[in-house]
Amino acid sequence: MSIESLRKILELECGRSYDNKAVIGGLDKYLHCQAACIRQGVDDPQLLNEFDQLNLSGSDYSSWDTDQRRAWIAQGLAWLSKLEASEEGAAVPGHVHGIHGYSSSHGSSGTAVRAVTEVRPEQRDILDLPVTVMKGITPGIADRLAKLNVRTVYDLLYLLPRRYLDYTRRKSISELVVAEEQTVIGTIWQARVAVLGNRRGTEAIVGDETGNVRVVWFNQPYLARTFRTNATIAISGTVSEFRGTKVFESPAWELLKDKELIHTGRLVPVYPLTQGLYPRQVRKWTRDAVDSYAQQLGEFLPAGIRVRCGFPDLPVAISQVHYPDDSETAREARRRLAFDELLLLQLGVLARKRDWQEGQPGHALRMDREAMNRFLHSLPFTLTPAQERVLQEILGDLQQKKAMSRLLQGEVGSGKTVIATLALLMAAANGYQGALMAPTEVLAEQHYANLCNHLSRICEQEPAQGLNSTQGTDLHGGIVRRYTGLLPRPLTIALLVGSLSSSAKEALHRTISRGEVDIVLGTHALIQKEVKFKKLGLAVVDEQHRFGVVQRSALRQKGFNPHVLVMTATPIPRTMALTLYGDLDLSVIDELPPGRQVVRTRQLDARDRQKAYSFIRRQVSNGRQAFVICPLVEESEALEAKAATSEYERLSREVFPELRLGLLHGQMPGSEKDEMMRRFRSGEVDILVSTSVVEVGIDVPRASVMLIEGAERFGLSQLHQFRGRVGRDKEQAYCLLIMEKASPEAGARLQLMERVHDGFVLAEKDLELRGPGEFFGTHQSGLPDLKLARLTDLPSLELARKEAMALFQSDPDLRRPEHQPLRQRLSRAWSGSAEWS
Ligand code: ADP
Ligand code: MG
C-alpha cells in the first residue's frame, strides 16, 4: 500500500462527493485494513501522533453525514501532504544542495544567456538547448533528468509540478498557532546538533521582532552546519507544542538572500523525481529556467481562442504553473496548459482524418439490398437492434464518396463479425475487393469457416481453380471457395495465413492481384509486400488493439483510399473516443444477443486453490474444458513463457495427471500455437494452460471455466476479455480469480469483476484507477504526450475539440501568418508520432 494510493482513494472519494463509493465495499473496511500498514511507514513521532488521531482503524465513515466525511477526508489529505513534505525534507542531504548552491545561483541567468549566445541562436531554437546549459546541471544530473524525459531547456519548462505544498500563511512568531501550517521568516540565533529522541538531529532558535521559536529537524544533524548564526531563514510547517512551548518539527526551510522564496512561504511546487534528484535542486532549476527562458516561449495560441477562453499568455502560464502567486492563478495556468495539449491533439487527429478522407475521393458503394437480405435471412438468428443500428451507420458511410474511417466497438460476443461480413459483401457486390485482418491464424480460420458456412446455406459451391489441391493445411475444402447464387456473378472467398505453403501463398497472391478473389480473410500475411490487391474497396481490422499503428495503416495502404473499419471489444470511454480515436467515427454495439449467460466470477484465496482444481476436475468430467491463465510478466514474454511452462508441468504431473493438458505461450512458433488452439477447440485437450496470448476472439464453446492466476496483475478490461473466452454457449460458465500478491486495493479492484459484467463500466474504472497509459498498455504509441490534461476531463476535451474544429474550418492547413507559431508547435507535438509523418 503506498501513500500515493491512499491519496488517490481519498481524492477519488472527494471527487465523488463523499458517497462512500471510492472503494467497493466502503471506505471503512479498506481503511481498517490499511491502518497498520501505513503506520509502519511513518517514523516521525509528530506525524505518527497525528495519524493516530485520524483513527483510520476505528473510523466509522459509513455512518457519518457528508459534512463529517468531508472534514475527515480533508484532515486525512492534509496529513498526507505533511507526510510527503517531511519525506522531502529528509531526502535532502546537505552537501547536495545547501546554502552553497544557493549563494551562487544569482548569476545563473546571466551565465545561461551567455551560453545561449555561444551556440548561435539563429540556427537553433534556444529552447532546444540541452539542460546542461543551466547552472548546476552536470552531465550526470542531465542523465537523471533524462529519466524524467527532460533533456532540453524546453523540457525543463514543461516539467510540471504534480501539485503544490501550501506554505503561504505567513505569520510573525508571536502569532503562531498550534497545529496549523504556517510560515515565519526570522533570524537564526543559534543552530546546533542535538540529540532528539535517541538520534542526532538539528536544533535551532529562530527569532523575529515579536519573539523566538524553537525549530528541530530529526535525523538531519548536517543542517546545523548549513545554518549560520544571523542568517535569515524562512520556515514553513506545522507548529506543535512540546512541554508548553511552541516548536516547528522538521519544517521546510529556506535561507534567504533578498530573493524570491521558492521552497517556503508560498505555494511550493512538488515535481516528479527520480533516483538521485532532490526536490530542492529541481526547484532551483525550474526557477532558473522560468526566469531565463519562459519569455522566449512566445505565444502560439491564436488571440481569439485566448480571449474566448480567458487564458493567460504562455510565458505567464508557464511561470505561474511552476511558481504560482496563488492557487487561483495556478489553476488558470494549468487549465491553459491542459487545453494546449488537448488542442494540439485534436488538431493532429483532425488533420489525420482529413488526410485519409479527402486526400483522394473514396469509392461510393451502391446498396445491393437483395443480396444483403438474402444473406441476413440465411443467418440462424436475427440481428439485435444495436447490430441493426450499427449496420445502418456503416452502410451509410460506404455509400459516401468519402472513405469510411470507423471504429466498431462491441462487447465480446456482441456479434461484430456479422456486421463486418455484410460490409465486405457490399464491397464485393460493387466489384471491389474486401479484406479482413485478424491477429491470429486460428481466428482468421474461424472467420473463414463461419463465412463459408453461412454462404453454403444460400449458395451453390463451385470448384475454384486448382489452388486448393496445392496447399498442405487441413482446411477441408481448401483456402479458396467460390459461391454462386448470391451475387449476379460468382463470389470468391479466400483465406491467407502465414502457415500456407509458399506455393499456395504465391498462387493466392496472383489471384488476389488479378482481382479474382472478392473477399480475403487473413492474418498479418495480408500486409506482406507481395500482397497486391487489384481493387481493394474495404479493409477491416478485427481486434484492432492487437495490432500496432503501423500494421493497421499498412492494410489501409493496400488499396487506393479504401473504406476502413476497425473493430475492438475493448470499450473506448467517450473521452478516449474524442482523443486517441478522434480520427475515427465511432459505432457501438451496446447489447448482447438474447440469452447470453454472465460468466459467474469469484475471487479465491490462494489457500482455496485446491478447491478450484477440484471444481475444474468436475467440469472436465462433465465433458467441459478449462483454461488456466498464468500471471502477466511485464515486459518479458520470455519469462512469462517460462513461468507458464513450469506451471504446465506442475499441473500435468502433480494436479491433473489423469487429464490431457496443453500449453500455449507467446514464444511458441505461430504454427504450434495454432495447432494447440485447434486441438483445444476440437476437444483433444481438456485444460489449456496459457499466458495472456489467449486473450483474443476465439470461440471454444465447450470451455466453461477459466482460472486466472496472478489476477491482480491484469487490467479489468483485459480480465473481462479473458473471461469472454468462456460461456460461449448456453451452459453456465465460471471465472476464478486468484491473486498472487493479495492486497486490499487489488481485492477491491477484483471485486468489481465479480459484480460488474459490463465491459464499458469496467473500462471506465480501469481508466480511472490506472490511467490511460496502463489502460492501453504499450501498444498505444504514436500520439503526443499528455502531461496535464486528463483524458477523463470531458468538458475540457469538448472545448478543445470545438476550438480545433473552428480553426480547422477557417484555416485547415494553418497557412495564415498568425497561425504559424501554432503550426510549428503542432509539428513539434506530433514529431514523435509514427502515423503523422
Ligand atoms: P464478437 O463481437 O466478439 O466478435 P462474434 O461476431 O464472434 O462476436 O459473435 C459471437 C457469436 O454470436 C457468434 O457465434 C455469432 O454467430 C453469434 N451472433 C451474432 N449476432 C447474433 C444475434 N443477433 N443473435 C444471436 N447470436 C448472434
Ligand atoms: Mg470477434
pLDDT at position 580 over 70: no
**8-state DSSP, 413:** T
| pLDDT > 90 in the chain, percent | 35
pLDDT at position 469 over 70: no
C-alpha pair distances (Å), 542 with each of 309, 356, 357, 509, 670: 41, 20, 21, 21, 18
Quick one: which ligand is closest to 385's CA?
1
C-beta of 416 in contact with ligand 1 (< 6 A): yes
- State the DSSP string of 5-73: HHHHHHHHHHHTTS-S-SSTT-HHHHHHHHHHHHHHT---HHHHHHHHHH-GGG--GGGS-HHHHHHHH
Instruction: Convert the pLDDT of each residue in 100-144 to its tens digit.
Output: 222 233 333 333 222 222 333 333 477 788 898 888 888 999 999
User: What sign results for the dihedral spanned by CA atoms 80, 84, 89, 90?
Assistant: positive
Cβ burial 186-221 (10 Å sphere, 16+ → b, else e) = bebeebeeeebeeeebbbbbbebeeebbebbbbbbb
Distance 411 CA to ligand 1 centre (A): 10
Cell of 710: 496472478
Q: Which of 370-379, 607-616, 759-768, 817-826 has the lowest mean pLDDT?
A: 759-768
Write down the pLDDT at residue 402.
86
Look-up of cell digits 474444458: 625
- Atom 23, ligand 1: residue with shortest CA distance: 383
pLDDT at position 477 over 70: no
Q: Residue 226, SS3?
A: helix
| CA–CA dist 150, 228 (Å, integer) | 35
Distance 697 CA to ligand 2 centre (A): 5
Distance 592 CA to ligand 1 centre (A): 8
Write down the pLDDT at residue 633.
72
Write down the pLDDT at residue 560.
80
CB atoms within 10 A of CB 452: 18
C-beta of 383 in contact with ligand 1 (< 6 A): yes
Q: How confident is the model at residue 796 (pLDDT cuts 50, 70, 90)?
A: confident
| CA–CA dist 513, 536 (Å, integer) | 10
- Atom 24, ligand 1: residue with shortest CA distance: 593
Crossing angle for the helix pair 716-723 and 759-776, nearest 10 degrees? 120
Distance 263 CA to ligand 2 centre (A): 55
Write down the pLDDT at residue 305.
93
Please name which of 317, 316, 308, 299 lies closest in space to residue 803, comparing C-alpha atoms: 308
Write down the pLDDT at residue 752.
93
Distance 591 CA to ligand 1 centre (A): 11
Please name which of 628, 625, 602 lies closest in space to residue 736, comparing C-alpha atoms: 602
Phi, psi of 254 (to 5 degrees): -160, 130
| CA–CA dist 516, 534 (Å, integer) | 9
- Please identify, by atom number, the ligand 1 atom nearest to the C-alpha of residue 410: 2
Distance 543 CA to ligand 2 centre (A): 7
- State the DSSP string of 737-754: EE-SS--HHHHHHHHHHH
| CA–CA dist 830, 341 (Å, integer) | 11
The amino acid present at 586, given as its one-letter code, is: L
pLDDT at position 784 over 70: no
Please name which of 763, 741, 744 lies closest in space to residue 753, comparing C-alpha atoms: 763
Q: How confident is the model at residue 192 (pLDDT cuts 50, 70, 90)?
A: very high
C-beta of 701 in contact with ligand 1 (< 6 A): no
Q: Residue 489, SS3?
A: coil
Please name which of 30, 24, 21 lies closest in space to residue 756, comparing C-alpha atoms: 24
**8-state DSSP, 170:** B
| CA–CA dist 60, 322 (Å, integer) | 39
For residues 659 and 687, is the Cβ–Cβ distance under 8 A?
A: yes
Q: Residue 685, SS3?
A: coil
Distance 669 CA to ligand 1 centre (A): 29
C-alpha 70: how far from chain center: 30
C-beta of 759 in contact with ligand 1 (< 6 A): no
Write down the pLDDT at residue 357.
66
Ligand 1 pocket test, candidate residues 414, 446, 447, most atoms within 8 A of CB: 414
Q: Is 466 exposed, middle or buried (0-12, 13-18, 19+ CB in 10 A)?
A: exposed
Range with the largest mean pLDDT of 273-277, 599-603, 810-814? 599-603
299 vs 558, residue with greater confidence: 299
Phi, psi of 633 (to 5 degrees): -110, 110
Cell of 642: 517460462
C-beta of 569 in contact with ligand 1 (< 6 A): yes
pLDDT at position 520 over 90: yes
Q: Which residues, other chains included, contact 613 with Cβ-Cβ below 8 Å and sequence gap of 6+?
A: 655, 656
- The alpha helices in 430-500, defined as continuous H runs, are 441-458, 467-470
The arithmetic mean of pLDDT across residues 629-639, rounded, is 78
Phi, psi of 590 (to 5 degrees): -110, 25
C-alpha pair distances (Å), 75 with each of 70, 93, 558: 9, 30, 60
22 vs 189, residue with greater confidence: 189
- Please identify, by atom number, the ligand 1 atom nearest to the C-alpha of residue 384: 23
Write down the pLDDT at residue 499.
81
pLDDT at position 794 over 60: yes
Q: Residue 731, SS3?
A: coil
Q: Which residues, other chains included, contact 271 with Cβ-Cβ below 8 Å and sequence gap of 6+?
A: 159, 160, 161, 162, 279, 282, 283, 286
C-beta of 593 in contact with ligand 1 (< 6 A): yes
- State the DSSP string of 54-78: H-GGG--GGGS-HHHHHHHHHHHHH
- Please identify, by atom number, the ligand 1 atom nearest to the C-alpha of residue 379: 16
Distance 415 CA to ligand 1 centre (A): 3
| CA–CA dist 733, 751 (Å, integer) | 18
Write down the pLDDT at residue 813.
84
**8-state DSSP, 592:** P
Quick one: which ligand is closest to 589's CA?
1
Look-up of cell digits 495556478: 330
C-beta of 34 in contact with ligand 1 (< 6 A): no
Q: What is the dihedral of CA 660, 665, 669, 673, to 10 degrees?
A: 50
Instruction: Convert the pLDDT of each residue in 40-63 to its tens digit.
Output: 777 777 888 888 877 777 677 878
Q: How confident is the model at residue 356 (pLDDT cuts 50, 70, 90)?
A: low
Look-up of cell digits 448470391: 486
| CA–CA dist 462, 477 (Å, integer) | 11
pLDDT at position 714 over 70: yes
Please name which of 203, 360, 330 lies closest in space to residue 267, comparing C-alpha atoms: 330
Instruction: Convert the pLDDT of each residue in 10-37 to its tens digit.
Output: 777 776 677 777 666 677 767 776 777 6
Q: Which of 315-319, 579-583, 749-753 has the lowest mean pLDDT?
A: 579-583
C-beta of 727 in contact with ligand 1 (< 6 A): no
Sheet holding 433-437, edge to edge: 460-462, 480-484, 491-496, 519-522, 433-437, 536-541, 563-568, 405-410, 585-589
| pLDDT > 70 in the chain, percent | 84
pLDDT at position 9 over 80: no
C-beta of 237 in contact with ligand 1 (< 6 A): no
* Long-range own/partner contacts, residues 256-261 (CB < 8 A, 24 or more apart): 256/185, 256/231, 256/232, 257/102, 257/103, 257/106, 257/232, 259/106, 260/287, 260/323, 261/234
Distance 165 CA to ligand 2 centre (A): 49
- Mean pLDDT value across the chain: 82
The pTM of the full predicted model, rounded to 2 decimals, is 0.60
Half-sphere exposure of 53 (CA within 13 A, CB side): 12
- Please identify, by atom number, the ligand 1 atom nearest to the C-alpha of residue 412: 3
The arithmetic mean of pLDDT across residues 601-606, rounded, is 92
pLDDT at position 387 over 90: yes
Distance 728 CA to ligand 1 centre (A): 9
- Atom 18, ligand 1: residue with shortest CA distance: 415
C-alpha 543: how far from chain center: 18
| CA–CA dist 119, 127 (Å, integer) | 12
Write down the pLDDT at residue 107.
32
| CA–CA dist 363, 418 (Å, integer) | 22
C-beta of 348 in contact with ligand 1 (< 6 A): no
Q: How many helices (H) and strands (E) does the chain have?
A: 29, 23
Distance 679 CA to ligand 1 centre (A): 23
For residues 636 and 663, is the Cβ–Cβ distance under 8 A?
A: no
